[in-house]
Structure 1
Amino acid sequence: MTVHIPPPPLLETAGVDPDEALSILQGALHGADDGELFLERSESESLVFDDGRLKSAAYDATEGFGLRVVAGETAGYAHANEISAAALRRAAESAALAKSGHAGAAAEGPRATNQKLYDAVDPLAFPAFSDKIALLQEIDAWARARDPRVVQVSASIVGERRAIEILRADALKVQDVRPLVRLNVSITVEKDGRRETMSNGAGGRAGFETWVAPERWQAQVDEALRGALVNLEAVDCPAGEMDVVLAAGWPGVLLHEAIGHGFEGDFHRKGSSVFTGMMGKRVAAPGVTIVDDGSIAGRRGSLSVDDEGTPTSRTVLIEDGIMVGLMNDRLSARQLGQRATGNGRRQSFAHQPMPRMTNTFMEGGKDKQADMIASTRRGLYAANFGGGQVDITNGKFVFQCTEAYLIEDGKITAPVRGATLIGDGATALTNVTMIGDDFAFDPGVGVCGKAGQGVPVGIGQPSLKIGGLTVGGTAV
């Protein structure tokens, strides 16, 4: 059962006359270059079943607005968790200080669109609360019965529904209802006093129907269990420079972090990206094509419109190794003389929008993963990643592998623990030697952080072979 709820008129629901709100906004933006009123009502629910019991159940509801006035490169921003005419007036007075002494011309607004990438469903309404608890109990029992070495299971289910409304000075009003769900399973196994844990998650912009189907969550359990059992047998990873084969799908997080941020327009506007000034030049090996696309139906990083009201789109960043594009919000697009690409995103009404990735991925090639392995004398096969650290200004990264194997004489051999990948995004791009024909997206679990804001994102890639990466290890 899917519960469809149309976008609510947030101003009217809060008892604010839309004409009065428009008048306040127009006064604040008079003489400014850009700006908008962003309203939001968000509801979220999370349940965690851990150690054989319901450990936590949380419900959160917030609403509020943010009013932005942009003058040149300066932005005034005021927000409040009270939607009222009085709060709007106070916010307008504060934000309008940004245009002091500025005489600008209002930028043309975003184009209208009927693009709908997901239904206006309410994940909190179905399944019922009691059914969600029963599902988590079933997952726990089923996972423990799969293998006697299972000693701990943690399962969680998270649903969110965000309704947003954007009002511009030209009276354009954009509404969107954004569902988001995720089901996660974590399994700990033990053998001879050694414990290993592996997680598996999945989700997207829809109701829970797909993810609560038994065949779906059972596959998640089996994958988490498989990874944990593999790591029980893992040996310490040797260190050194070697060729690395990355699996398809989630390992694209390495490219997302080490490369993706360097193609966000604000870093180019400020001249702080390692790729600044490289437009039209070769920045990657031939065959490497990287795209950001927020217009893919149902994906975790997708949006019908971004948080400035611009329709999302497919933006090619690198084409056959040549830098050809950037991800822009409206401010960066205007300053750089480019188009807004639908990448203006914000964590909530309390945050200003900035250029952010949506679904960022490398397109597939023609090589077989088996050939990548066979052509590697000594290397590492990185099947899965955990956390990592990246310096956006130079692209240097350190990523931890949660599942990895040695490659010896063209064959995958022992699983290893403690493996880290060390390098920089620009060099890694140019050292791609083989691109697989097995493109895959991640299962729908990505969250990207930037300047203190977190937003859901999608990641994808085919299998890749990268030469000369530094592998950090724990072997003595």
Structure 2
Amino acid sequence: MSDAPFRPFETHLDRDTALSHLQEAVRGADDGELFIERRRSESLVLDDGHVKTASFDAAEGFGLRAVRGETAGYAHSTTIDEQALGRAVSTARLAVGDGGGTLAAGPKGTNERLYSDVDPVSEATFPAKIDLLREIDAFCRDLDPRVVQATVSLGASLQEVAILRPDGVLVTDTRPMSRINIGVIVEQDGRRESGGMGGGGRASLLGLIDRDHWQGIAREALRIALINLQAEPAPAGVLDVVLGPGWPGILLHEAIGHGLEGDFNRKGSSAFAGLMGQQIAAKGVTVLDDGTIPDRRGSITVDDEGTPSAKNVLIEDGVLVGYMQDRQNARLMGVEPTGNGRRESYAHAPMPRMTNTYMLAGDADPQDMVRDLRDGIYAVGFGGGQVDITNGKFVFSCTEAYRVRDGRIGAPVKGATLIGDGATALKQIRAIGNDLALDPGIGNCGKAGQWVPVGVGQPSLMIGGLTVGGSA
């Protein structure tokens, strides 16, 4: 691979030939595209003072798709030439059959760019990155004598894509990504606990590795670990819960967001299928999926079908008003695509996916929300979670949470899990804070075996009657 500008039709495949093959693939189809990608990525992990992982990956290839009705034919190759494209055409046309479809109009173009074309991978040398990881490791250990282990990871990538439409329109996008994560383990009186924090986005790596920036991340990781040292067993039962702003929006993403993706609703498998225009959440709840926020991890200038990204309202004042759509599901549902057709790489077909999903702020004071909590949990940080799309039931583990009694924040609790279902939780929102925040840029989302970067966010929320699983 080279560092030269991405010009997919200046190598072994010219644009006219590619267009001719694409038009043959979609003859009699409803839609289709040729997706060409080049990607470079680097990942470094320093664990307990030793380099655990140092990887560099470079790949390129294309994916060809032909769509007719609910069926899509897809073929991909790591070789970008006419011979490979010809084989792909034969495969993709199996989904089209005798044809008879009417080719859909292509997406409208955009001149907007949401991020720069900086290459984070090449912004610092490999030795400099290793030295940085060692510096961060030493800093973490010097912060507190109770730190017994530190793990530091640094990641950077540059994805360049070209999307050729059957009408000859070519859409390109250059997508940088950088990320840093710091985790520490502390020990006191024979007890060990951990804490972690990270950040990133579609921006230069230099901002993340600035000393003031990573030192703040390291201090926050230590703060969480030390809080966990004091944590008591979490209570169990049905309790009121106040969620903090920012990253706790991952609960919104999983328990609600996936259920509002177009394919699940077209097939009737979502808990929110058939509820368009109905009140599905408490008054005041407005949820957006917004891929247009500059430099954010989940943002995309155009999606992987060439549709410009958009700021889409999903729930407005508690009423379901929209789903996230790719081109195929939008066409089958008789609506417009929303710029949410995403894929992990050229080896994957696009599907409706979230970008940056968040709830708008309300007018409640977060401190007043906690004061109104008679007996419950104040959950600030979340770890892993699971959700069943068909019924919206979720289980999430808390990484930082506190017991609240009579409006006073008490001891931190360990082992708390929040259990419920998205549809019920939406209706049990009693207060919405005025402190909307987005996550620091650490989200990844999995669906049907594909992973894409995403963002989440929310203000503080009070939710009544969630089941809390604990050990007390």
> Shared fold by TM > 0.5?
yes
Is contact 2:6–2:38 with CA below 8 Å preserved after alignment?
A: no
Q: CA deviation at 1:134?
A: 1.3
Q: CA deviation at 1:25?
A: 0.7
Is contact 2:248–2:458 with CA below 8 Å preserved after alignment?
A: yes
The answer to whether residue 181 in structure 2 is matched with residue 189 in structure 1 is: no
Q: Which residue of structure 1 aligns with residue 69 of structure 2?
A: 72
Q: Which amino acid aligns with 1:101?
A: D
Q: Which residue of structure 1 aligns with residue 370 of structure 2?
A: 373
Task: Give the Cα separation in 1 of the matches to 2:94 and 2:172.
Answer: 28
CA deviation map 1:136-169 (0-9, x unaligned): 1111111100000000000010000000000011
Q: CA deviation at 1:56?
A: 1.8
CA deviation map 1:219-256 (0-9, x unaligned): 10010000000000101011000100000000000010
The answer to whether residue 464 in structure 2 is matched with residue 444 in structure 1 is: no
Task: Give the Cα separation in 2 of the matches to 1:280 and 1:7.
Answer: 47
Task: Give the Cα separation in 1 of the matches to 2:367 and 2:167.
Answer: 57
Is contact 1:196–1:228 with CA below 8 Å preserved after alignment?
A: yes
The answer to whether residue 170 in structure 2 is matched with residue 173 in structure 1 is: yes
Residue number among 57, 62, 79 corresponding to 1:60 in the alignment: 57
Matched position secondary structure for 1:370: helix
Q: Which residue of structure 2 aligns with residue 132 of structure 1?
A: 129
The answer to whether residue 430 in structure 2 is matched with residue 433 in structure 1 is: yes
Residue number among 385, 388, 397 corresponding to 1:400 in the alignment: 397
Task: Give the Cα separation in 2 of the matches to 1:437 and 1:411.
Answer: 20
The 5 Å alignment of 1:116-127 reads 116-127=113-124
Task: Give the Cα separation in 2 of the matches to 1:306 and 1:115.
Answer: 13
The answer to whether residue 316 in structure 2 is matched with residue 322 in structure 1 is: no
Q: Which residue of structure 2 aligns with residue 49 of structure 1?
A: 46
Q: CA deviation at 1:102?
A: 2.7
The answer to whether residue 101 in structure 2 is matched with residue 109 in structure 1 is: no
Q: Which residue of structure 1 aligns with residue 310 of structure 2?
A: 313
Q: Which residue of structure 1 aligns with residue 214 of structure 2?
A: 217
The 5 Å alignment of 1:293-304 reads 293-304=290-301
CA deviation map 1:328-356 (0-9, x unaligned): 00001101111110000000000000000
Task: Give the Cα separation in 2 of the matches to 1:449 and 1:392.
Answer: 13
Task: Give the Cα separation in 1 of the matches to 2:83 and 2:431.
Answer: 60
Q: CA deviation at 1:7?
A: 4.9
Q: How many residues align?
A: 470
Q: Which residue of structure 1 aligns with residue 233 of structure 2?
A: 236
Task: Give the Cα separation in 2 of the matches to 1:6 and 1:79.
Answer: 23
* TM-score calculated relative to the size of structure 2: 0.99
The 5 Å alignment of 1:81-160 reads 81-160=78-157
Q: Which amino acid aligns with 1:53?
A: H
Matched position secondary structure for 2:196: strand
Q: Which residue of structure 1 aligns with residue 36 of structure 2?
A: 39
Q: CA deviation at 1:11?
A: 2.5
Is contact 1:28–1:92 with CA below 8 Å preserved after alignment?
A: yes
CA deviation map 1:175-197 (0-9, x unaligned): 11100010000000001111011
Q: Which residue of structure 2 aligns with residue 345 of structure 1?
A: 342
Task: Give the Cα separation in 1 of the matches to 2:29 and 2:52.
Answer: 50
Q: Which amino acid aligns with 1:252?
A: G
Percentage of identical aligned residues: 59
Q: Which residue of structure 2 aligns with residue 11 of structure 1?
A: 9
Q: Which amino acid aligns with 2:131?
A: A
Q: CA deviation at 1:6?
A: 8.0
Task: Give the Cα separation in 1 of the matches to 2:137 and 2:360.
Answer: 37
Residue number among 202, 206, 215 corresponding to 2:203 in the alignment: 206
Structure 2: any 5+ residue segments left out of the alignment? none
Task: Give the Cα separation in 2 of the matches to 1:102 and 1:261.
Answer: 32
Q: Which amino acid aligns with 1:447?
A: N
CA deviation map 1:304-351 (0-9, x unaligned): 000000000000000000001110000011011111100000000000
Matched position secondary structure for 1:154: strand
Task: Give the Cα separation in 2 of the matches to 1:195 and 1:95.
Answer: 54
Residue number among 19, 39, 46 corresponding to 1:22 in the alignment: 19
Comparing 152-161 with 205-214, greater Cα deviation is found at 205-214
Q: Which amino acid aligns with 2:406?
A: D
Matched position secondary structure for 1:210: helix
Task: Give the Cα separation in 2 of the matches to 1:102 and 1:20.
Answer: 22
Is contact 2:27–2:99 with CA below 8 Å preserved after alignment?
A: no
Q: Which residue of structure 1 aligns with residue 285 of structure 2?
A: 288
Moved over 4 A (4+): none
Is contact 1:6–1:177 with CA below 8 Å preserved after alignment?
A: no
Q: Which residue of structure 1 aligns with residue 415 of structure 2?
A: 418
Q: Which amino acid aligns with 1:259?
A: I
Is contact 1:293–1:315 with CA below 8 Å preserved after alignment?
A: yes
Q: Which amino acid aligns with 1:396?
A: K
Task: Give the Cα separation in 2 of the matches to 1:235 and 1:297.
Answer: 41
Q: CA deviation at 1:53?
A: 2.1
Q: Which amino acid aligns with 1:10?
A: P
Matched position secondary structure for 2:44: strand
Is contact 1:22–1:171 with CA below 8 Å preserved after alignment?
A: yes
Matched position secondary structure for 2:207: coil
Is contact 2:28–2:98 with CA below 8 Å preserved after alignment?
A: no
Provide the aligned C-alpha RMSD in A. Answer: 0.9
Task: Give the Cα separation in 1 of the matches to 2:9 and 2:37.
Answer: 10
Residue number among 158, 162, 165 corresponding to 2:159 in the alignment: 162
Task: Give the Cα separation in 1 of the matches to 2:4 and 2:199.
Answer: 26
Task: Give the Cα separation in 2 of the matches to 1:88 and 1:6.
Answer: 23
Q: Which residue of structure 2 aligns with residue 456 of structure 1?
A: 453
Task: Give the Cα separation in 1 of the matches to 2:233 and 2:367.
Answer: 24
Task: Give the Cα separation in 2 of the matches to 1:220 and 1:411.
Answer: 28
Q: CA deviation at 1:360?
A: 0.2
